[in-house]
């Protein structure tokens, strides 16, 4: 039997902290105090950009004049709101803010133009890349990368393909200049954006940044090289796996996985013992992306990792490496003396739908370790093991441990759904 709540009306549900523009906008138009204006603008932050188009249009008309405010916080907040509401008519005023004396306004304008991601802002942002303030230069580079990502989207309406290519070339040329910026944050921002818009040949400027004295710049360049998927970057990235900075080692490992080149596999496997758990997680991600079955022993060994997030990632990686040879390796490990390995293998075999694992998984239901019981019964549910339903029913009713009862109940539902 189904029960229905009574219909109380057809009004759209009110969002938490939702603002009523009809209350705020008249006060905003009358206000002359920057502090009061800022409070009212902050209240408009709750306005749903996907809500009433009339409300957004009214709000945009009321906020646009504040782009000319002499108070930097007011002008910056007005630009932030208009860009969030996708008000492209504010573009000329936002470009004008890039020329204001206050670097806070110029920074905010660059960020707002990045949110709008309109190619008409490219020229202004290229000039912003040469701003005397490093934060403005870095934000301009980031905004150029956002626009470039939009231009590379083949489904983007508007400019013809030839015009988009020309715009991408302009962006890439500006970013190549900025990777030599004296400020490291600008070089890093330019590198990240260049990884988005780069064309053939742009790998070499990024490779030069792998020798940068600042780890943040090296990491940004390594990540960009991974995005570009140019295998000429592999030697430089492999060399970074031995650097002393853990953040660089982490990014390099991820980038090598993105490149899909197994040349760096021996160095990656060495990093599986790195003292930093974040790096070990990056290694697992890279091994999953590379998909080399030969790495199975290393991945299995990482099931014993002391960090629960590392060990928790192992079943997904094992599933990604699964093939016929992996099956012959993994099935016997359901009887491994180490419970951590048994748990990871049980989940991995359930992920991949390996029906031959069912008899061993049913034996695991007698394991004294409740964690192994939970994972074994979960895997049996994924496998649709109808032969285990009687045991699952008994566990769901009688087991004294709530986590085991819950897992058994959910697995019963899974088996039922798969058998329908």
**Residue 113's pLDDT band (cuts 50, 70, 90):** very high
Which candidate, 294, 302, 222, places its Cα nearest to that of 259?
Answer: 222
**Residue 98: per-residue pLDDT:** 93
pLDDT of residue 349 exceeding 80: yes
**Residue 159: per-residue pLDDT:** 60
Quick check: 378 and 385 in contact, CB under 8 A?
no
Phi-psi region of 301 (alpha: psi -120 to 50; beta: other; left: phi over 0): alpha
- Other Cβ atoms less than 10 A from the Cβ of 408: the count is 27
* Residue ranges of domains in the chain: 293-420
Query: 3-state class of 2 per DSSP?
Result: coil
Quick check: 136 and 114 in contact, CB under 8 A?
no
107 vs 21: CA distance, rounded Å: 28
Instruction: Specify the pTM.
Output: 0.77
**Residue 396's pLDDT band (cuts 50, 70, 90):** very high
Report the pLDDT averaged over residues 13-27.
68
pLDDT of residue 156 exceeding 70: no
* Mean pLDDT, all residues of the chain: 88
pLDDT of residue 15 exceeding 60: no
pLDDT of residue 185 exceeding 60: yes
pLDDT of residue 14 exceeding 60: no
CA-angle at 214, arms to 124 and 280, nearest 5°: 110
Report the pLDDT averaged over residues 133-146.
97
Report the pLDDT averaged over residues 177-195.
95
Has domain 293-420 been given CATH number 1.10.3720.10?
Answer: no
What are the structure tokens assigned to 92, written together? 């000329």
**Residue 229: per-residue pLDDT:** 79
Distances (CA, A) of 327 to 72, 166, 245, 284, 300: 63, 51, 38, 19, 13
**Residue 157: per-residue pLDDT:** 57
pLDDT of residue 56 exceeding 60: yes
pLDDT of residue 214 exceeding 60: yes
**What backbone phi and psi angles, to 5 degrees, belong to 304?**
-90, 10
40 vs 247: CA distance, rounded Å: 41
Report the pLDDT averaged over residues 160-178.
88
pLDDT of residue 49 exceeding 90: no
Q: Which of 140-144, 193-197, 268-272 has the largest mean confidence? A: 140-144
Query: 3-state class of 204 per DSSP?
Result: helix
Quick check: 219 and 247 in contact, CB under 8 A?
yes
pLDDT of residue 17 exceeding 70: no
pLDDT of residue 8 exceeding 60: no
What are the structure tokens assigned to 101, written together? 């004396």
Report the pLDDT averaged over residues 219-226.
91
Sign (positive or negative) of CA dihedral 272, 277, 282, 285: positive
**Residue 145's pLDDT band (cuts 50, 70, 90):** very high
What are the structure tokens assigned to 292, written together? 């080399």
pLDDT of residue 94 exceeding 60: yes
Q: Which of 7-16, 81-90, 124-133, 163-172 has the lowest mean pLDDT?
A: 7-16
Report the pLDDT averaged over residues 38-65.
89
**Residue 161: per-residue pLDDT:** 66
Report the pLDDT averaged over residues 203-215.
91
290 vs 221: CA distance, rounded Å: 21
**Residue 308: per-residue pLDDT:** 94
């Amino acid at each position: 039997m189904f029960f229905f709540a009574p219909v109380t009306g057809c009004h759209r549900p009110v969002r938490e902290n939702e603002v009523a523009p009809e209350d705020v906008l008249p006060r905003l138009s009358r206000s002359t105090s920057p502090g009061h204006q800022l409070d009212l603008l902050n209240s408009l932050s709750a306005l749903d950009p996907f809500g009433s188009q009339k409300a957004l249009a009214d709000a945009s008309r009321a906020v646009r004049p504040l782009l000319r405010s002499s108070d930097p916080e007011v002008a910056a907040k007005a630009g932030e709101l208009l860009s969030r509401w996708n008000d492209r008519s504010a573009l000329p005023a936002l470009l004008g803010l890039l020329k204001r004396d206050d670097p806070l306004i110029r920074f905010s304008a660059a960020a707002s133009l990045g949110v709008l991601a309109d190619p008409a802002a490219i020229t202004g942002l290229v000039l912003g890349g040469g701003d005397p303030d490093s934060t403005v230069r870095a934000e301009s580079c980031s905004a150029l990368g956002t626009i470039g990502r939009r231009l590379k989207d083949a489904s983007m309406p508007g400019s013809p393909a030839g015009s988009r290519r020309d715009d991408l070339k302009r962006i890439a040329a500006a970013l190549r200049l900025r990777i030599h910026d004296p400020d490291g944050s600008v070089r890093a921002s330019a590198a990240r954006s260049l990884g988005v818009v780069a064309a053939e040949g742009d790998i070499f400027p990024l490779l030069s940044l792998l020798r940068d004295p600042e780890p943040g710049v090296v990491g940004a360049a390594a990540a960009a090289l991974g995005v570009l998927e140019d295998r000429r970057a592999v030697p430089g990235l492999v060399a970074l796996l031995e650097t002393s900075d853990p953040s660089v080692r982490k990014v390099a490992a991820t980038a090598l996985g993105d490149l899909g080149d197994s040349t760096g596999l021996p160095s990656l496997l060495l990093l599986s013992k790195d003292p930093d758990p974040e790096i070990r997680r990056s290694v697992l991600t890279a091994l999953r992306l590379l998909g080399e079955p030969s790495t199975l022993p290393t991945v299995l060994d990482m099931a014993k990792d002391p960090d629960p997030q590392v060990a928790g990632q192992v079943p997904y990686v094992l599933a990604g490496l699964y093939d016929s040879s992996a099956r012959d390796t993994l099935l016997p490990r359901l009887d491994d003396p180490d419970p951590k390995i048994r748990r990871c293998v049980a989940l991995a075999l359930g992920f991949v739908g390996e029906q031959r694992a069912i008899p061993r998984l049913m034996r695991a239901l007698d394991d004294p370790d409740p964690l192994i019981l939970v994972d074994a019964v979960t895997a049996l549910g994924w496998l649709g093991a109808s032969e285990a339903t009687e045991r699952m029913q008994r566990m769901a009713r009688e087991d004294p441990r709530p986590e085991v009862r819950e897992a058994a109940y959910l697995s019963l539902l899974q088996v039922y759904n798969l058998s329908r």
